[in-house]
C-alpha cells in the first residue's frame, strides 16, 4: 500500500501569526508524535526558523501574539538550518563554496510536503529550502515516529547549477532549545573501558563530541547525548532531550550556548571537503531525537522502543544464547577442540556456537595476530573437514553455528597484501602505520567492496548450517590515502569508506536476510545506529569483568536497546574482587546473554551455576529484551549498590537485578523500589537464579503499589553478591 502524500504551503493555514522579534510569521510547519511537537516557521520574506521542540502543542497558534523582550537580531530567533552567510554568525550547519567563489549561502523556505506510512505511524515531512542567489537546495527530511515519540532529521543537499561546488560542512540536523541551564550527558572511555557516563553543565561557547578515527569511532566517544534542561539529569523527572547520530564514520556533535541563552545543537558528519558535482545530490545520515518531560528514563525507553521497531536490524526477532570460544582458546582453534566445546555448550543449553579468530590462512596460517588476515581460506591442518564439518556437527547437537571474520583489515604477512597493495589505505611516499599488525582496506573502492562481500558470501556458502557472523574491526584510520579516489578529492574518502561499508552490508542483507550479524570493533567500537540498521547486535566490550560491565552496560543502554548488546559470562579474573559465577551471570543476563570460555575449565559447582543461569535466562529473556527498562540505582551514584528492572509492556511481569558492588561485609540493608509496575496489580515475588534465597520477601504476593513505594530487600551481608527477582501478576 502506497504512502499517502500531501503537498502544502503552510501560510494558508497559519497566515499572519505574529512572532517575536518584529517580523511576521507567514506559516508554521508542524512535525509531531503522540506526545511531542517540533515546529518550523517562516516569515513573509521566506526566512525559515526553528521554533520549538518539546512537549506536544495541540495548536501551533500557541505562538500567536508572542512578543520579544529583547532586540531583534540574528541569533534572537533560531535558524532552521544555520548557514554560513547573510547575517548569521552562529556555528553553521552548512558551509558551501559556490562555483564563483562565493562563501555565502542564504536559504529561504520553498515549500513543504508530507507523507504517511501505510500503518499510519511514521509521518515524513520534507521542508524545502533554496538559496537566494544560486541553484542550490537543501531538503530537510523529518520523520515522526508517533507511538515511539522519536523524530529523526536528515538533509538532502542538491547542486542544481551548471558547475561543481565544494561542501565544507553538511550536518544532519540543527535545532535550538531554550532553558536557564543545560547539562550534557554522554558516554566515553577507551578500549575495554567503553561507555563511561559523564555529565557536565555547559558553559557559554561551543562544546563538541567528535571522532575522526573512521573505524572504531565509538571506543572513545559515542555519537549520542542527553541534554537535561535547568537541572542535572534525573531518572524520572525533568525535561530531557536525547539524541544519536546514525553514522559509523567520523562525526561531530556541537552544543553552542550562545549570547542569547539559547543552546544550538548540531549533529552530523565531521566536516571535510566534498566536491558536489553539478546535478549531484548528497544525503546525510539521520540524527535521531526524542524528548521526555519525565526524566532520562522515559527518554531511554523511547529510544529503545524506536530501536526495536525501526533502528536495529530484525529488532523484533529473538536473539540466540551463544557460546563463543575466544576467551577459552584464543587462536588455538582446531577441530577436536571445537567439537569438545560444542559438546559442552549443548549440555549447558547454548543455542549457538561461535568459532572465533584463528581458523583460516594457508600460506600464512592465522596462529596469532601477525599473519593471515585477508586470506580467508580454511586452514586444512586445523579444520580438515572445513567449516561445513563443524557447522554440521553443531546442527547434530541442536545448535546453530557462527564464524568470526575481520574483512576490512589485512596483515602485511598475507597473500592479499602481496597481490593487491593498491587496495591498502595509504598515500604514495608515505608510511602505512600498523595497528595490531594490520592495515586497512580501501572500502571506497568497489573492487574491495566486492572482495569483502565475497568473504562473507564464501563463508555462508560453505554450509547452510552457518547462521551467525561476528564481524570484527580491530584498528582505526591513521595515515589516509586512496588509490581509487582522484587526487583532488581525497577528503571524500572519509565518507566513501562508510558508504562502501553500508553498500556491502546492504548486499549481504539482500542475499542473507536471516543471518544474525554482530558488529564488533575491538569490542564497543561500532555501537551506533548506522551500523545497527544492518546488524542484529553489537559486542558491548572486550572486557567481560562483571564489575566493569555494570558500568559499561549502564552507559550503553542509556541509548541502545539491551537485546542488541552482547554480554558474556566468562572466567576472566576480576581485578577488583572475586566474583561468583552467579554474580557474573546476573550481570550478563541484563543484556543479550552469551558465554565466553572453554567449559571444561569450570569446576562442577561452576558448571551447575552456569547451567542454572542459562535455564533462568531463557524464562525471562522476553521481559529483559522486549520490556521497559527502569534504572533503579546507578553504580555511579551509589558505590555500594546497583539495580535495574525490566517490566513487560502489559505490566504483568517484571525482573529486577540488584548488586552489592563493594568487596566488604556490609550492614546496609536497603530496599529497592521497582519502577514501572501497575499499582493496582498484585505480584508474586520470586528470587531466581540462586540455590538459596537472600530475601524474606521471596514467595510472597505483594501489591504493585507496595513494590514501587517500598520495594524488595535482598539482605546482602557481604560484598560481591547479587539477587534477581521475578515478579508475576497474580489474578
Query: How many other C-beta atoms are found inside a 10 Å radius of the C-beta of residue 211?
Result: 22
Nearest to 248 by CA among 436, 111, 98, 443: 443
Query: How many other C-beta atoms are found inside a 10 Å radius of the C-beta of residue 707?
Result: 27
- Is the four-CA dihedral 710, 716, 721, 727 of positive or negative sign? negative
Count Cβ neighbours within 10 Å for each residue of 186-204 and write b for 16 or more, e otherwise.
Answer: bbbbebbbbbbbeeeebee
Strand 17-18 vs strand 466-471: parallel, antiparallel, or unpaired?
unpaired
The C-alpha atoms of residue 469 and residue 355 are separated, in whole angstroms, by: 9
Q: How far is CA 310 from the centre of its chain?
A: 12
The C-alpha atoms of residue 268 and residue 271 are separated, in whole angstroms, by: 8
Which residue carries 568473504 as its cell? 455
Q: For 506-565, what is the HEC assignment?
A: HHHHHHCCCCEEEECECCECCCCHHHHCCCCEEECCCCCCHHHHHHHHHHHCCCCCHHHE
Element housing 57 (H / E): none
The DSSP secondary structure of 250-277, one letter per residue, reads -EEEEEEE-TTSEEEEEEEEPP--EEE-
The C-alpha atoms of residue 75 and residue 82 are separated, in whole angstroms, by: 10
Nearest to 562 by CA among 324, 377, 342, 303: 303
Q: Which of 131, 305, 356, 472 is catalytic?
A: 472
Alpha carbon distances (Å) from 278 to 159, 161, 245, 275, 493: 6, 6, 28, 9, 20
The C-alpha atoms of residue 676 and residue 628 are separated, in whole angstroms, by: 8
Report H helices in 307-378. 326-329, 335-348
Active site (annotated) includes residue 356: no
Count Cβ neighbours within 10 Å for each residue of 11-50 and write b for 16 or more, e otherwise.
Answer: beebeebebbbebebbbbbbbbbebbbbbbbbbeebbbbb
The C-alpha atoms of residue 688 and residue 589 are separated, in whole angstroms, by: 12
Q: Which three cell numbers stand for residue 512?
A: 542473507
The C-alpha atoms of residue 493 and residue 485 are separated, in whole angstroms, by: 7
The C-alpha atoms of residue 506 and residue 312 are separated, in whole angstroms, by: 14
Q: Which of 35, 542, 609, 628 is catalytic?
A: 542
Alpha carbon distances (Å) from 674 to 137, 233, 679, 681: 51, 19, 11, 13
Phi/psi class of residue 214: alpha, beta or left (left: φ > 0; alpha: ψ in -120 to 50)? Answer: left
Active site (annotated) includes residue 131: no
Query: How many other C-beta atoms are found inside a 10 Å radius of the C-beta of residue 425?
Result: 25
Asked whether the beta carbons of 647 and 628 are under 8 A apart, the reply is yes
445, with CB counted inside 10 A (0-12, 13-18, 19+), is buried
Asked whether the beta carbons of 611 and 698 are under 8 A apart, the reply is no
The C-alpha atoms of residue 684 and residue 730 are separated, in whole angstroms, by: 6
The C-alpha atoms of residue 258 and residue 235 are separated, in whole angstroms, by: 27
Nearest to 581 by CA among 548, 606, 604: 606
Query: How many other C-beta atoms are found inside a 10 Å radius of the C-beta of residue 107?
Result: 27
Query: How many other C-beta atoms are found inside a 10 Å radius of the C-beta of residue 111?
Result: 17
Point out the residues that are catalytic.
472, 542
Amino acid at each position: 500500500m502506497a504512502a499517502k502524500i500531501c503537498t502544502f504551503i503552510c501560510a494558508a493555514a497559519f497566515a499572519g501569526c505574529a512572532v517575536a522579534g518584529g517580523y511576521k510569521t507567514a506559516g508554521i510547519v508542524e512535525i509531531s508524535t503522540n506526545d511531542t511537537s517540533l515546529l518550523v516557521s517562516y516569515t513573509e520574506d521566506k526566512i525559515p526558523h526553528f521554533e520549538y521542540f518539546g512537549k506536544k502543542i495541540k495548536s501551533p497558534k500557541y505562538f500567536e501574539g508572542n512578543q520579544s523582550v529583547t532586540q531583534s537580531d540574528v541569533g534572537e530567533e533560531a535558524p532552521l538550518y544555520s548557514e554560513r552567510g547573510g547575517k548569521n554568525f552562529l556555528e553553521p550547519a552548512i558551509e558551501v563554496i559556490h562555483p564563483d567563489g562565493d562563501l555565502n549561502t542564504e536559504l529561504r523556505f520553498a515549500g513543504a510536503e508530507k507523507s504517511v506510512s501505510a500503518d499510519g505511524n511514521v509521518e515524513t515531512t520534507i521542508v524545502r529550502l533554496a538559496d537566494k542567489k544560486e541553484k542550490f537546495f537543501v531538503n530537510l527530511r523529518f520523520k515522526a515516529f508517533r507511538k515511539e515519540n522519536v523524530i529523526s532529521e536528515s538533509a538532502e543537499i542538491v547542486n542544481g547549477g551548471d558547475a561543481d561546488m565544494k561542501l565544507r560542512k553538511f550536518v544532519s540536523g540543527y535545532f535550538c532549545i531554550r532553558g536557564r541551564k543545560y547539562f550534557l550527558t554522554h558516554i566515553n572511555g577507551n578500549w575495554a573501558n567503553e561507555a563511561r557516563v559523564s555529565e557536565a553543565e555547559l558553559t557559554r561557547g561551543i562544546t563538541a563530541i567528535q571522532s575522526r578515527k573512521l573505524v572504531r569511532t565509538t571506543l572513545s566517544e559515542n555519537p549520542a547525548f542527553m541534554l537535561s534542561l535547568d537541572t542535572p539529569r534525573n531518572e524520572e523527572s525533568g525535561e530531557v532531550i536525547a539524541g544519536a547520530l546514525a553514522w559509523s564514520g567520523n562525526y561531530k556533535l556541537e552544543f553552542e550556548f550562545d549570547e542569547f541563552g539559547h543552546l544550538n545543537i548540531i549533529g552530523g558528519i565531521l566536516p571535510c571537503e566534498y566536491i558536489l558535482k553539478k546535478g549531484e545530490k548528497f544525503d546525510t545520515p539521520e540524527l535521531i531525537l526524542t524528548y521526555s518531560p519525565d526524566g532520562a528514563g522515559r527518554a531511554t525507553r523511547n529510544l529503545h522502543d524506536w530501536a526495536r521497531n525501526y533502528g536495529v536490524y530484525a529488532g523484533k526477532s529473538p536473539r540466540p544464547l551463544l557460546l563463543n570460544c575466544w576467551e577459552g582458546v584464543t587462536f588455538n582453534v582446531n577441530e577436536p577442540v571445537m567439537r569438545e566445546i560444542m559438546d559442552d555448550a549443548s549440555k549447558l543449553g547454548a543455542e549457538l556456537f561461535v568459532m572465533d579468530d584463528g581458523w583460516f590462512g594457508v600460506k600464512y596460517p592465522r596462529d596469532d595476530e601477525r599473519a593471515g588476515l585477508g586470506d580467508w581460506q580454511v586452514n586444512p591442518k586445523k579444520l580438515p573437514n572445513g567449516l561445513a564439518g563443524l557447522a554440521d556437527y553443531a546442527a547434530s547437537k541442536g545448535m546453530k553455528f557462527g564464524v568470526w571474520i575481520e574483512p576490512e583489515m589485512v596483515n602485511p604477512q598475507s597473500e592479499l597484501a602481496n597481490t593487491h597493495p593498491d587496495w591498502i589505505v595509504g598515500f604514495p611516499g608515505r608510511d602505512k602505520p600498523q595497528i595490531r599488525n594490520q592495515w586497512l582496506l580501501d572500502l571506497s573502492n568497489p573492487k574491495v567492496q566486492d572482495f569483502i562481500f565475497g568473504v562473507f558470501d564464501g563463508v555462508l556458502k560453505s554450509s547452510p548450517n552457518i547462521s551467525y557472523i561476528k564481524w570484527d574491526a580491530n584498528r582505526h584510520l591513521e595515515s589516509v590515502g586512496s588509490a581509487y579516489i582522484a587526487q583532488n578529492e581525497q577528503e571524500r574518502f572519509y565518507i566513501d569508506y562508510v558508504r562502501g561499508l553500508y553498500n556491502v552490508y546492504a548486499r549481504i542483507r539482500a542475499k542473507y536476510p536471516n543471518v544474525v550479524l554482530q558488529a564488533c570493533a575491538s569490542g564497543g567500537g561500532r555501537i551506533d545506529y548506522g551500523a545497527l540498521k544492518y546488524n542484529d547486535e553489537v559486542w558491548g566490550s572486550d572486557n567481560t569483568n562483571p564489575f566493569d560491565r555494570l558500568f559499561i552496560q549502564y552507559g550503553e543502554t542509556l541509548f541502545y536497546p539491551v537485546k542488541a548488546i552482547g554480554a558474556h559470562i566468562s572466567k576472566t579474573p576480576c581485578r577488583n574482587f572475586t566474583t561468583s559465577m552467579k554474580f557474573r551471570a546476573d550481570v550478563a543476563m541484563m543484556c543479550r546473554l552469551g558465554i565466553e570460555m572453554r567449559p571444561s575449565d569450570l569446576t562442577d559447582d561452576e558448571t551447575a551455576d552456569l547451567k542454572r543461569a542459562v535455564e533462568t535466562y531463557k524464562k525471562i529473556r522476553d521481559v529483559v529484551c522486549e520490556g521497559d527498562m527502569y534504572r533503579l540505582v546507578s553504580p555511579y551514584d551509589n558505590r555500594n549498590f546497583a539495580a535495574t528492572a525490566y517490566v513487560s509492556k502489559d505490566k504483568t511481569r517484571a525482573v529486577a537485578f540488584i548488586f552489592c558492588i563493594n568487596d566488604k561485609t556490609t550492614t546496609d540493608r536497603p530496599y529497592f523500589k521497582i519502577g514501572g509496575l501497575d499499582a493496582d496489580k498484585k505480584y508474586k515475588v520470586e528470587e531466581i537464579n540462586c540455590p538459596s534465597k537472600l530475601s524474606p520477601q521471596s514467595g510472597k504476593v505483594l501489591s504493585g503499589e507496595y513494590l514501587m513505594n517500598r520495594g524488595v530487600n535482598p539482605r546482602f551481608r557481604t560484598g560481591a553478591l547479587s539477587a534477581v527477582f521475578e515478579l508475576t501478576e497474580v489474578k
